[in-house]
């Protein structure tokens, strides 16, 4: 039994040592960071991005997605809830619950402008990020009172074998950075920054960098009711 425990500890230690050496982080472990296809083709090849590809197509952003950019992507879960919220909004407007509604019914310009807030010029990978973070304008351009913070969120409560884990975090900063405010309670709810960790980071395609946001993130930080 003692030998078994020692062996397990050795395996776990080796696994986490490997994680530290590789810039590609995944909630399921370490994998090859390089993908021999464009960003769009990579997303299209992975079923968990089926809905995102439809949004990209509807927005007419395939060429932009395949540019030299860093793209924070949302999985199907976040997009399904976003579409459901938009459908509920339309249902209230027209006073009707049972009707066909999907990505095709959302204005393409609305999708284009919103999706660009997840895109950043150039390649921003983990080795360029810090725990302090850096503010960026997205590919939508300068937005009054809004910037995007890309940083590493360090946590020390992972387990006994790793001193800390750094999560890539994407934050919509409204006004000033909340983490620089001396009194957090004084920040109005509608002025609070909106942050989400990445479940996978540092996927290097032939055209850019992809970071996959947590599956609980709803597209565009939408917080509207889903209805019944």
Give Cβ neighbours of residue 43 (< 8 Å, ≥ 6 apart): 49, 52, 53, 56, 65, 73, 210
CA distance 103 to 62: 16
Cβ(36)–Cβ(138) below 8 Å? no
Is 33-219 in CATH node 2.60.40.60?
Answer: no
On the 0-12 / 13-18 / 19+ scale of CB atoms within 10 A, 38 is middle
Domain ranges of the chain: 33-219
Distance between alpha carbon 189 and the CA centroid of its chain, in Å?
A: 22
> Tokens for 32?
């090859």
CA distance 143 to 189: 19
Residues 199-210: tens digit of each pLDDT: 999 999 999 999
Distance between alpha carbon 9 and the CA centroid of its chain, in Å?
A: 32
Q: So what's the pLDDT on residue 227? A: 84
Cross-strand pairs, 105: none
Q: Which 3 state secondary structure label does DSSP give 174?
A: strand
CA distance 98 to 110: 24
pTM as predicted = 0.85
- The pairing of beta strand 69-73 with beta strand 209-213: parallel
Q: For the chain, where are the E strands, in sequence order?
A: 25-26, 69-73, 119-121, 134-136, 146-155, 165-174, 194-204, 209-213
pLDDT tens series, the chain, 228 aa: 444 333 333 333 333 333 443 445 554 333 579 999 999 999 999 999 999 999 999 999 999 999 999 999 999 999 999 999 999 999 999 999 899 999 999 999 999 999 999 999 999 999 999 999 999 999 999 999 999 999 999 998 767 677 788 999 999 999 999 999 999 889 999 999 999 999 999 999 999 999 999 999 999 999 999 987
């Amino acid at each position: 039994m003692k030998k078994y425990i020692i062996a397990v500890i050795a395996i776990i230690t080796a696994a986490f040592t490997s994680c530290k050496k590789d810039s590609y982080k995944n909630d399921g472990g370490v994998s090859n960071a390089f993908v021999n296809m464009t960003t769009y083709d990579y997303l299209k090849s992975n079923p968990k991005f089926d809905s995102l590809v439809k949004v990209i197509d509807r927005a007419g952003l395939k060429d932009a997605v395949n540019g030299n950019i860093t793209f924070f992507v949302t999985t199907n879960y976040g997009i399904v809830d976003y579409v459901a919220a938009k459908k509920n909004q339309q249902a209230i407007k027209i006073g009707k619950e049972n009707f066909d509604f999907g990505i095709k019914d959302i204005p393409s310009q609305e999708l284009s402008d919103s999706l660009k807030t997840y895109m950043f010029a150039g390649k921003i990978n983990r080795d360029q990020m810090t725990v302090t973070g850096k503010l960026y304008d997205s590919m939508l351009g300068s937005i009054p009172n809004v910037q995007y913070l890309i940083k590493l969120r360090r946590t020390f409560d992972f387990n006994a074998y790793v001193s800390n884990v750094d999560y890539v975090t994407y934050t919509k900063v409204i006004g000033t950075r909340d983490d620089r405010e001396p009194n957090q309670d004084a920040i109005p709810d509608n002025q609070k920054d909106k942050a989400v960790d990445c479940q996978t980071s540092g996927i290097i395609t032939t055209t850019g960098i992809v970071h996959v946001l947590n599956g609980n993130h709803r597209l565009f930080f939408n917080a509207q009711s889903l209805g019944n």
